C-alpha cells in the first residue's frame, strides 16, 4: 500500500457520481460489494493504525450505520481485531442492509466484540473503557445520505459531540476518523447539520468529494486522504458539470506555457478603475499585485482629478509604488490603452459608480469586477455580454448580488452573508449563470462558470486582512493580460494568492505583504509545486 500526492486527485465526485461508480463497478463489472468493502477497509485500517501509533491510542470504537458505510466500518473492525487491536463495533441503528448483515456475521464469527446499540455500550463495561485514549471510526452515514440525520444516528452524533467536548477540556485523547465523509455533512454542498461529526481525518474513496472542501464541511473533515479502491467511473447525471480542486500542478503547467515576453508591452497592460477619496490604497494594492504577477504595465485611473488634488494623488502613488502609472483627465474613465481592466477596488463615489453599467455593456475587454462595482454590475443574460468578465465577491457582496437577481425576477431577496456561507456552492453556480466566472471568496474559495466548478484548498489566516481582495483582483487581471482565458486566470490567480498567504504569518501581515510574496510563489510553482493542503492519495 503506497501513499502519494499528485494532481491526479483534482477531480471531485458528487453523490450521483459516487453512486454511478458503485453501479458501474458492482453491477456491470460484477465485482461484489463485499470485495469493495474489503478494499476500503484495508485503506481505512492503514490510516487508523498510523494515527493510533502516533497518538498512543489504546482503543478503537467503530460506529456503524445501516448502509454501505456501516458495512465498511464492520470490515474495519474485523481487520483491526485480526491484527491484535482492541476494537469494539457499535451498531448505531437496528436497521441494516443485506451487505451490512453479511459483514456483521463475518465480524461476529471473527470474534469482534459488538455492542447492539449505544445504550448497550454506555451501560456495559466497554463504556468504561472509553476512559482510555480512543479512536472513534465514524462509519454511520456515507455519500448516499440525504437531509439531516435522524433517530439513532442523530443521537449517536450528539453522543460523539459530547465525548469530543469532554475530551477537549479534560480526560483522555479522542480522535475521529470518518469513512468517506463525516456523518452530518452534505456531500454535494458541504452543509453541516447540527452536531455533525468533526473528524481529525477523513478517508474518502476513489475521488474526493466537494462537501469535504467547501465551508463549513471542510472544517469538519480534518486531513483528507483519497483511497483508490478500484472503482470505475460511471455515467452519472452530474457528468455534464466538471467539479475539481484548483491544482497547483495544472496551474504550473498553464503558467509555464505562457510565452516569454521580450519587452513589457508583450506582458500586457492592466488598467485599474477605483480608489475614491480616502480609499486610494485599494487601487494601489490591485495595481501592485498585477505588477507582481507579471503584468508589463499598470495604469491607475483617477477621474478628472485636477490641481493640488492631482499632485497629491500622484505623490501618494509614487511613494507607494513608483512603477505604477497614473491616468488623469478625460482618459481616466476607461484607460483606453489597457488590455484588461480591474473595476471597483476602493470605488465608492456615486459619480464613479453611475458610469460603470455603460462600461460593462459596451466595452469588450476582459474585466475583473470587485468591491463596490459589484453593486452596479450588469445582470444581463450571457448572450448579451460583450466581453469576458470575472466577479470576485465576498459573502456580503454575493448576498447583494443574489438579492438583485431575485428582485429582477420579481422576488423579495432575503440573502445575507450567513445564508451565503451556508449555501456557497448554490450561490456560486447561480451567479455564474449570468455568463461570468465567479470567485466566491472565503475559506475554501469557490470558482464557478457555466459547466464547471472548482475549490481552492490552499490559503490561510494571513489573508484575512484589509486589502487582500484587492490584491486577488490584481493578480487575476495580470494573468488575463498575459493571455489566459477567464477560467484559467481565475484559477491561477486564486491559487497564487492563496499560496502567497500560506507563506506569511497570521498576525501582522498586511495586504502589500501578500502582493510582495507573489514572485516567490511563481518561482516555486515553476520549480516544483508544493503539496501543502492537497488531499493525500492512498493507493491500496
Q: What is the 3-state secondary structure (H, E, C) of 350-397?
A: HHHHHCHHHHHHHCCCCEEECHHHHHCCCCCCHHHCCCCEEECCCHHH
The CATH number of residue 340's host domain is 3.40.1190.20
Q: What is the pLDDT of residue 265?
A: 72
Residues 432 and 406: their CA atoms lie apart, in Å, by 14
56 falls within a domain: yes
Q: Based on the domain organization, do 233 and 254 belong to the same domain?
A: no
Phi, psi (rounded to 5 degrees) for 6: -145, 170
Q: Based on the domain organization, do 232 and 301 belong to the same domain?
A: no
Q: Based on the domain organization, do 182 and 292 belong to the same domain?
A: no
Q: What is the pLDDT of residue 354?
A: 86
Q: Based on the domain organization, do 163 and 216 belong to the same domain?
A: yes
Q: Say if residues 460 and 272 touch (Cβ distance below 8 Å).
A: no
Q: Based on the domain organization, do 281 and 344 belong to the same domain?
A: yes
Helix, strand, or coil (residue 349): coil
Q: Based on the domain organization, do 184 and 299 belong to the same domain?
A: no
Look at residues 182, 204, 237 and tell me which one is the last residue of a structural domain: 237
Mean pLDDT by 10 residues, the chain (540 residues): 57 90 87 94 98 94 96 98 97 93 97 91 64 91 94 95 73 88 96 96 96 95 95 65 90 91 79 82 93 95 52 66 80 84 88 87 97 93 92 98 93 92 95 97 95 94 96 98 97 97 94 97 86 82
Q: Say if residues 509 and 471 touch (Cβ distance below 8 Å).
A: no
Q: Based on the domain organization, do 262 and 230 belong to the same domain?
A: no
The count of structural domains within the chain is 2
Q: Based on the domain organization, do 95 and 135 belong to the same domain?
A: yes
Residues 185 and 12: their CA atoms lie apart, in Å, by 16
Strand partners, 449: 452
Q: What is the pLDDT of residue 29?
A: 85
Q: Based on the domain organization, do 182 and 253 belong to the same domain?
A: no
Q: Say if residues 335 and 341 touch (Cβ distance below 8 Å).
A: yes
Q: Mind giving me the DSSP string for 487-503?
A: HHHHHHHHHHHHHHHHT
370 falls within a domain: yes
3-state secondary structure string across 148-208: CCCHHHHHHHHHHHHHHHHHHHCCCCEEEEEECCCCCECCCCCCECCCCCCCCEEEEECCE
26 falls within a domain: yes
Q: What is the pLDDT of residue 234?
A: 76
Strand partners, 179: 203
Q: Say if residues 126 and 115 touch (Cβ distance below 8 Å).
A: yes
Domain holding 296, by residue range, is 248-530
Q: Based on the domain organization, do 161 and 43 belong to the same domain?
A: yes
Q: What is the pLDDT of residue 390?
A: 98
Q: Say if residues 251 and 491 touch (Cβ distance below 8 Å).
A: yes
Q: What is the pLDDT of residue 309?
A: 46
Instruction: Note the residue count of the chain.
Output: 540
Amino acid at each position: 500500500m503506497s501513499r502519494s500526492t499528485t494532481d491526479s486527485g483534482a477531480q471531485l465526485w458528487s453523490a450521483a457520481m459516487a453512486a454511478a461508480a458503485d453501479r458501474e463497478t458492482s453491477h456491470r463489472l460484477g465485482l461484489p460489494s463485499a470485495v469493495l468493502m474489503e478494499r476500503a477497509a484495508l485503506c481505512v485500517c492503514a490510516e487508523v493504525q498510523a494515527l493510533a501509533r502516533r497518538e498512543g491510542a489504546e482503543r478503537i470504537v467503530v460506529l456503524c450505520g445501516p448502509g454501505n458505510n456501516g458495512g465498511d466500518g464492520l470490515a474495519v473492525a474485523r481487520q483491526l481485531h485480526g491484527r491484535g487491536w482492541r476494537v469494539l463495533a457499535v451498531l448505531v441503528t437496528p436497521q441494516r442492509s443485506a451487505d451490512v448483515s453479511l459483514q456483521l456475521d463475518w465480524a461476529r464469527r471473527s470474534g469482534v466484540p459488538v455492542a447492539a446499540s449505544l445504550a448497550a455500550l454506555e451501560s456495559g463495561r466497554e463504556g468504561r473503557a472509553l476512559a482510555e485514549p480512543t479512536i472513534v471510526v465514524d462509519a454511520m452515514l456515507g455519500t448516499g445520505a440525504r437531509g439531516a440525520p435522524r433517530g439513532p444516528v442523530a443521537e449517536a452524533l450528539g453522543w460523539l459531540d459530547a465525548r469530543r467536548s469532554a475530551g477537549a477540556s479534560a480526560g483522555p485523547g479522542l480522535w475521529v476518523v470518518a469513512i468517506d465523509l463525516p456523518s452530518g455533512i452534505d456531500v454535494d454542498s458541504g452543509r453541516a447539520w447540527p452536531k455533525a461529526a468533526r473528524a481529525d481525518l477523513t478517508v474518502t474513496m476513489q475521488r474526493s468529494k466537494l462537501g469535504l472542501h467547501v465551508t463549513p464541511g471542510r472544517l469538519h473533515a480534518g486531513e483528507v486522504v483519497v483511497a483508490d479502491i478500484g472503482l470505475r467511473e460511471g455515467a452519472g447525471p452530474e457528468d455534464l458539470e466538471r467539479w475539481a480542486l484548483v491544482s497547483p500542478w495544472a496551474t504550473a503547467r498553464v503558467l509555464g506555457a505562457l510565452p516569454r515576453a521580450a519587452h513589457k508591452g508583450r506582458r500586457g497592460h492592466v488598467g485599474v478603475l477605483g480608489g475614491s477619496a480616502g480609499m486610494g490604497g485599494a487601487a494601489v494594492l490591485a495595481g501592485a499585485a498585477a505588477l507582481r504577477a507579471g503584468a508589463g504595465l499598470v495604469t491607475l485611473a483617477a477621474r478628472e482629478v485636477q490641481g493640488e488634488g492631482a499632485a497629491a494623488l500622484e505623490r501618494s502613488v509614487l511613494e507607494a509604488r513608483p512603477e505604477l502609472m497614473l491616468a488623469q483627465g478625460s482618459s481616466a474613465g476607461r484607460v483606453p490603452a489597457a488590455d484588461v481592466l480591474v473595476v471597483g477596488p476602493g470605488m465608492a463615489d456615486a459619480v464613479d459608480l453611475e458610469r460603470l453599467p455603460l462600461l460593462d455593456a459596451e466595452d469588450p475587454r476582459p474585466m475583473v469586477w470587485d468591491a463596490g462595482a459589484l453593486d452596479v454590475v450588469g445582470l444581463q443574460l450571457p448572450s448579451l455580454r460583450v466581453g469576458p468578465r470575472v466577479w470576485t465577491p465576498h459573502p456580503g457582496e454575493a448576498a447583494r448580488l443574489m438579492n438583485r437577481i431575485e428582485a429582477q425576477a420579481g422576488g423579495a431577496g432575503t440573502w445575507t452573508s450567513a445564508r451565503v456561507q451556508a449555501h456557497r456552492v448554490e450561490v456560486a453556480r447561480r451567479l455564474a449563470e449570468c455568463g461570468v466566472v465567479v470567485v466566491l471568496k472565503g475559506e475554501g474559495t469557490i470558482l464557478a462558470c457555466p459547466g464547471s466548478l472548482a475549490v481552492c484548498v490552499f490559503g490561510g489566516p494571513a489573508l484575512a486582512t484589509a486589502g487582500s481582495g484587492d490584491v486577488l483582483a490584481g493578480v487575476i487581471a495580470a494573468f488575463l493580460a498575459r493571455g489566459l482565458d477567464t477560467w484559467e486566470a481565475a484559477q491561477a490567480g486564486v491559487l497564487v494568492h492563496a499560496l502567497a498567504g500560506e507563506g506569511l504569518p497570521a498576525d501582522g501581515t498586511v495586504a502589500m505583504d501578500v502582493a510582495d510574496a507573489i514572485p516567490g510563489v511563481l518561482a516555486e510553482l515553476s520549480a516544483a509545486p508544493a503539496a501543502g493542503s492537497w488531499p493525500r492519495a492512498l493507493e491500496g
